[in-house]
Amino acid sequence: MKRLKVQKGDNVYEGIEIPSVDEKYVVLKLDNGYNIGFKRDKIKIEIIEEFEEKSKKIEKKEAKYRKELRDVSIIGTGGTIASKIDYTTGAVYPAFSPKELEEMVPEIFDIANIYPREVLQILSENMNVERWKKVGNAIVEEISKGRSIVIAHGTDTMHYTASFLSFTLKNLSVPVVLTGSQRSSDRPSSDSRMNLFCSVKFATTEYNKVVVCMHGTMEDTFCYVHKGVKVRKNHTSRRDAFQSINTKPAAKVYHDGKIEFFGDLPQKYEEKPYFDDKIEEKIFLLKVFPNISHEILDFLIDRKYRGIVLEGTGLGHTPSLLYDSIKRGIEKGITFCMTSQCINGRVNMNVYHTGRKLIELGVIPCEDMLSEVCYTKMMHVLGHAKEYDEIRKSMRTNIAGEITEDTVVV
Amino acid sequence: MKRLKVQKGDNVYEGIEIPSVDEKYVVLKLDNGYNIGFKRDKIKIEIIEEFEEKSKKIEKKEAKYRKELRDVSIIGTGGTIASKIDYTTGAVYPAFSPKELEEMVPEIFDIANIYPREVLQILSENMNVERWKKVGNAIVEEISKGRSIVIAHGTDTMHYTASFLSFTLKNLSVPVVLTGSQRSSDRPSSDSRMNLFCSVKFATTEYNKVVVCMHGTMEDTFCYVHKGVKVRKNHTSRRDAFQSINTKPAAKVYHDGKIEFFGDLPQKYEEKPYFDDKIEEKIFLLKVFPNISHEILDFLIDRKYRGIVLEGTGLGHTPSLLYDSIKRGIEKGITFCMTSQCINGRVNMNVYHTGRKLIELGVIPCEDMLSEVCYTKMMHVLGHAKEYDEIRKSMRTNIAGEITEDTVVV
């Protein structure tokens, strides 16, 4: 293998050359872990060092069934955790099947009987309601076979999926653990291995809610298990990008498999688990900003959106020039819910007269719910309730842990 | 004064009674600092304690001019820092004039010659371009009189205003310090006093950029001075809600006036300061989410928006079903800029083929810029540049500290 210095215009890049499927390109793995591709005819190349590649010996385990272990289904949906490099462009492509994931993380066969199942093969920015339904139905099928669930998911929208599943998977009897990776598994800095190991480990517990299990720090020391309705991706690239908001994580899983819970186990259900597929799709998540025009609301109203999450400023405000359109929308039966773009903290629309005005108009304050969570909750709630009072009550009632306790000011 | 227990339905509230302008209402100051109003005929009242109000002695300073001190203009725009309680509704109303602020914080007269000037009297969710222009012009007028600037501003949109001013105030010779308050000044837990003191103190330094000066912790120990282009309101109610993103604060101002800088002072300008009012107002800040429809982009294109900030997922992605509309928009000369809803970290659209596709379409990756900052930067840049190449270059070039250094991947 070669370490190269590549000069393109005024910029100089240094890294290990990785195989390119196209002779016209040179691909470098930079020291920061990212890959970058160059057209050969546009660059100057200097070889800094040549060395032997260390052979990677992967111990392949026999997937023999062991009665004393829990059965865990690993549902593949795509994303970085199931991806490898496209050497032409230096970009990452979804490519590993769950079968291939088994080879990557042999340790998981010591702690559970693993059942891989590929449901989707997408990058998670393309997640949508139709695909959520596929995943939801697959989960219930797997649970009916006595299996716990791990879902390999792209990180872009993992928190949206986690909250959607939190509202729509009912009477869960086992953990449903979403996990992903911020760096693809062929990079030295990949977090796939520990995330998958900790997720499978957590899937063998008596917990029975939807959670996200991802690196807790930048080191490979432990993962946090976040409640699916209280988690957000808060960094574009760091391994510890996922954070619990307005609450503590549910648990910590150490790299050696030790688990520490931060609260009581959730209530158990007697009834059979099912996926509730009654979903209202016409919901818009609108971030409010200075100088926004009311015409966007008028457009959404005219396009017959059934619900709008207002991601307001501060304690839950919008410019007052939106009030007339909000009023018109509510008169037409559209539900307006308020969250805050501050992310942390709680909406309180009683402090300022502008907030009280919005409440008078019928805007529903959504306490300390994240905007993303409010969005998937509205999909679920409006799939069932049709009347304002019923919708308001459901939105302001804790369904899946999305509202944490506090004095609610009347 | 009386401490009351109020029962309304099943809920019980306890707090100090505060005067009500309307006999029909009882208003309590709760122990958490919030006020709450009740209709007298809907509640049961019990008096827990009666006591004498402590008289507040405010030492009124003579505002005598002292040649050895710097001149600081305090520009009032409204917001909680300049507000008091509406006793009928328990809501907070903007009400104090900057003159009244003087009485609140007598210490500031020891450290500067204070010139109060009321420019706006709004809650900051109603900030818009027209009002930003008023503030910008007032600032330049005050600077031309040899004064440094402190701006009392509502916290909801203070970070939007700070970034707008960072791009439009050119050749600054003095600090322009935005400050506000998360709790109104008649509350025991108010942060107005220390925020204003630290802001005036910082306004007397040799710094010459737009900054936000707010509580650094929940205690009254110090304020952070955040660069106006790298700060965000990250909590609905905490005193330390404002945080520097992707960089360190510019400085720390302790409650006793001691200042600690975290970097070099910015470059000095020879030219006269001015407010650049060439602004393109038709910019939309669009948060992307799963299941979003392309029709929103089609609408913005048809309504002749000139620029759209795509607040994408992860490293800077959108669902691929938006690509056709983005392509059509770019063909019509509309600028699309990409930021990340992760808030922390940097857009990198070279890692996945979907990101590269967006770059090919002409979407401009905006590095580690906050969405809110990208929005005000686009207003400024599109007010000047009209051609794609020029716009792209300006958006990707550091104008006011909004892009921090890192290897930019080609």
Reported as a single tens digit per residue, the pLDDT across A54-69 is 544 444 445 689 999 9
How sure is the predictor about B352, in pLDDT bands with cuts at 50, 70 and 90?
A: confident
| Paired tokens of B290 | 């799963």
Is B117:B71 a contact under the CB 8 Å cutoff? no
Q: Could you tell me if B233 lies within 8 Å of chain A, comparing CB atoms? A: yes
Q: HSE-up of B255 (CA within 13 Å, CB side)?
A: 12
pLDDT computed for residue A35 by the predictor: 67
Which residue would you say has higher pLDDT here, B109 or A300? A300
Is A309:A337 a contact under the CB 8 Å cutoff? yes
Please tell me the distance from the alpha carbon of residue B217 to that of residue B214, in angstroms, as a whole number.
Answer: 9
Mean pLDDT, residues A326-340: 98
Residue B361's contacts (CB-CB under 8 Å, 6 or more residues apart) are B323, B326, B327, B330, B336
How sure is the predictor about A102, in pLDDT bands with cuts at 50, 70 and 90?
A: low
Residue contact B157–A311, C-beta within 8 A: no
Tokens 């005598």 map to which residue? B64
Report the CATH number of the A283-395 domain: 3.40.50.40
Residue A405's contacts (CB-CB under 8 Å, 6 or more residues apart) are none
Mean pLDDT, residues B113-133: 93
Which of A7-11, A311-315, B126-130 bottoms out in mean pLDDT, i.e. has the lowest? A7-11
Which residue from A233, A296, A311 is facing B342, i.e. has the nearest CB? A233
Which residue from A35, A235, A311 is facing B342, i.e. has the nearest CB? A235
List own/partner pairs for A27-31 with CB under 8 A and 24 or more apart: A27/A85, A27/A87, A27/A88, A27/A90, A28/A4, A28/A90, A29/A187, A30/B407
Contacts of B11 in chain A (CB under 8 A): 410
Nearest to A122 by CA among A164, A82, A72: A82
Q: Cα-flanking dihedrals φ and ψ of residue B84, to 5°?
A: -140, 180
Which residue from B236, B286, B410 is facing A314, i.e. has the nearest CB? B236
Residue contact B314–A8, C-beta within 8 A: no
**Nearest C-alpha in B relative to A129:** B291
**Residue A136, class by beta-carbon neighbours within 10 Å (0-12 exposed, 13-18 middle, 19+ buried)?**
buried
Helix (H) or strand (E) holding A136: helix A129-144
Cα separation values, A100 from A95, A145, B6, Å: 9, 23, 64
Q: What is the pLDDT of residues B268-326, one digit of tens each?
A: 899 999 999 999 999 999 999 999 999 999 999 999 999 999 999 999 999 999 999 99
pLDDT computed for residue B389 by the predictor: 97
Domain with CATH 3.40.50.1170 in chain B: 70-275
Q: What is the pLDDT of residues B183-218, one digit of tens each?
A: 766 666 678 889 999 999 999 999 999 999 999 999
Residue B80 annotated to the active site: yes
What's the whole-number average pLDDT of chain A? 89
Is B210:B139 a contact under the CB 8 Å cutoff? no
Q: Which of residues 315-334 of B touch A (CB under 8 A)?
A: 315-321
Please tell me the distance from the alpha carbon of residue B133 to that of residue B136, in angstroms, as a whole number.
Answer: 5
Please tell me the distance from the alpha carbon of residue B153 to that of residue B131, in angstroms, as a whole number.
Answer: 12
Please tell me the distance from the alpha carbon of residue B147 to that of residue A8, in angstroms, as a whole number.
Answer: 48
Which residue from A318, A347, A356 is facing B125, i.e. has the nearest CB? A318
Residue A155 annotated to the active site: yes
pLDDT computed for residue A122 by the predictor: 87
**Between B129-144 and B158-168, two packed helices, what is the crossing angle to 10 degrees?**
60
**What's the gap in Å between the CA of A61 and the closest CA on chain B?**
32
> For the residues of B375-390, what is the DSSP string, one character each?
HHHHHHHHTT--SHHH
Amino acid type, A18: I
Most confident of A224-228, B91-95, B353-357: A224-228
Fold for domain B70-275? Rossmann fold (3.40.50)
DSSP, collapsed to helix, strand or coil, labels residue A252 as strand
Is A285:A311 a contact under the CB 8 Å cutoff? yes
Degrees, nearest 5: CA angle B154-B159-B162: 100
Which residue would you say has higher pLDDT here, B38 or B43? B43
How sure is the predictor about B21, in pLDDT bands with cuts at 50, 70 and 90?
A: low
pLDDT computed for residue B292 by the predictor: 98
Residue B53's contacts (CB-CB under 8 Å, 6 or more residues apart) are B1
Q: Which residues pair with B38 in a beta bridge?
A: B26
Please tell me the distance from the alpha carbon of residue A64 to that of residue A61, in angstroms, as a whole number.
Answer: 9
What ranges in B122-257 are assigned the alpha helix state H? Answer: 129-144, 158-168, 192-203
Please tell me the distance from the alpha carbon of residue B38 to that of residue B75, in angstroms, as a whole number.
Answer: 36
Which of A117-126, B60-69, B96-105, B206-215 bottoms out in mean pLDDT, i.e. has the lowest? B96-105
pLDDT computed for residue A60 by the predictor: 46
Contacts of B154 in chain A (CB under 8 A): 314
Residue B220's contacts (CB-CB under 8 Å, 6 or more residues apart) are B191, B194, B255
Mean pLDDT, residues A207-218: 96
Torsion-angle region of residue A341: left (phi > 0), alpha (psi -120 to 50) or beta? alpha
Please tell me the distance from the alpha carbon of residue B211 to that of residue B262, in angstroms, as a whole number.
Answer: 14
SS3 content of chain A, % helix, strand, coil (to 5): 25, 30, 45
Q: How many CB atoms lie within 10 A of CB B116?
A: 18
SS3 content of chain B, % helix, strand, coil (to 5): 25, 30, 45
What's the whole-number average pLDDT of chain B? 89
pLDDT computed for residue A19 by the predictor: 67
Please tell me the distance from the alpha carbon of residue B23 to that of residue B25, in angstroms, as a whole number.
Answer: 5
Is B37:B25 a contact under the CB 8 Å cutoff? yes
Please tell me the distance from the alpha carbon of residue B220 to that of residue A331, in angstroms, as a whole number.
Answer: 46
Q: Residues A77, A155, A168, A318: which is the catalytic one? A: A155
Tokens 């790298």 map to which residue? B230
Q: In this structure, is the dihedral angle defined by the CA atoms of residues A108, A111, A116 and A122, taken in order, positive or negative?
A: negative
| CATH classification (class only), B283-396 | alpha beta
Q: Could you tell me if B129 lies within 8 Å of chain A, comparing CB atoms? A: yes
**What's the gap in Å between the CA of B339 and the closest CA on chain A?**
10
**What's the gap in Å between the CA of A122 and the closest CA on chain B?**
11
Please tell me the distance from the alpha carbon of residue B219 to that of residue B217, in angstroms, as a whole number.
Answer: 5
Q: Could you tell me if A238 lies within 8 Å of chain B, comparing CB atoms? A: yes
Q: Could you tell me if B236 lies within 8 Å of chain A, comparing CB atoms? A: yes
A35 Cα distance to chain centroid: 24
Residue contact B340–A284, C-beta within 8 A: no
Please tell me the distance from the alpha carbon of residue A61 to that of residue A65, in angstroms, as a whole number.
Answer: 12
Q: What is the pTM of this model?
A: 0.86
Q: Could you tell me if B367 lies within 8 Å of chain A, comparing CB atoms? A: no
Tokens 């005067």 map to which residue? B19
Mean pLDDT, residues B159-169: 98
Helix (H) or strand (E) holding A377: helix A371-382
Q: HSE-up of B383 (CA within 13 Å, CB side)?
A: 16
Which residue from B287, B296, B319 is facing A287, i.e. has the nearest CB? B287
Mean pLDDT, residues B99-111: 79
Residue A55's contacts (CB-CB under 8 Å, 6 or more residues apart) are none
Is A221:A195 a contact under the CB 8 Å cutoff? no
Residue B155 annotated to the active site: yes
Q: Residues B29, B71, B155, B227: which is the catalytic one? A: B155
Q: Which of B125, B157, B238 to mutate to test the interface with A (most CBs of A within 10 A)?
A: B125
Which residue from A8, A123, A317 is facing B125, i.e. has the nearest CB? A317
Q: Which of residues 12-71 of A touch B (CB under 8 A)?
A: 30, 32, 34-36
Q: Which residues pair with B307 in a beta bridge?
A: B283, B335
Q: What is the pLDDT of residues A132-159, one digit of tens each?
A: 999 999 999 999 999 999 999 999 999 9
Domain with CATH 3.40.50.40 in chain A: 283-395
Contacts of A409 in chain B (CB under 8 A): 34, 36
**Between A295-302 and B295-302, two packed helices, what is the crossing angle to 10 degrees?**
130
Q: HSE-up of A263 (CA within 13 Å, CB side)?
A: 11
What is the interface pTM, i.e. ipTM, of the complex?
Answer: 0.86
List own/partner pairs for B303-306 with CB under 8 A and 24 or more apart: B303/A295, B305/B334, B306/B280, B306/B282, B306/B333, B306/B334, B306/B335, B306/B382
How sure is the predictor about B1, in pLDDT bands with cuts at 50, 70 and 90?
A: confident
Residue contact A284–B296, C-beta within 8 A: yes
Residue contact B34–A409, C-beta within 8 A: yes
How sure is the predictor about A188, in pLDDT bands with cuts at 50, 70 and 90?
A: low
Residue B252 annotated to the active site: no
Residue contact A236–B289, C-beta within 8 A: no
Residue contact A36–B124, C-beta within 8 A: no
| Paired tokens of B380 | 């400024």
Residue contact A157–B93, C-beta within 8 A: no
Mean pLDDT, residues A199-210: 97
Domain with CATH 2.30.30.520 in chain B: 2-50
Residue B101's contacts (CB-CB under 8 Å, 6 or more residues apart) are B74, B76, B81, B82, B116, B152, B196
Domain with CATH 3.40.50.40 in chain B: 283-396
Please tell me the distance from the alpha carbon of residue A274 to that of residue B383, in angstroms, as a whole number.
Answer: 54
Which CATH number, 2.30.30.520, 2.40.110.10, 3.40.50.12780, 3.40.47.10, labels domain A2-50? 2.30.30.520
DSSP, collapsed to helix, strand or coil, labels residue A275 as strand
Helix (H) or strand (E) holding A227: strand A222-227
Residue A28's contacts (CB-CB under 8 Å, 6 or more residues apart) are A4, A6, A13, A14, A15, A16, A17, A18, A35, A36, A38, A90
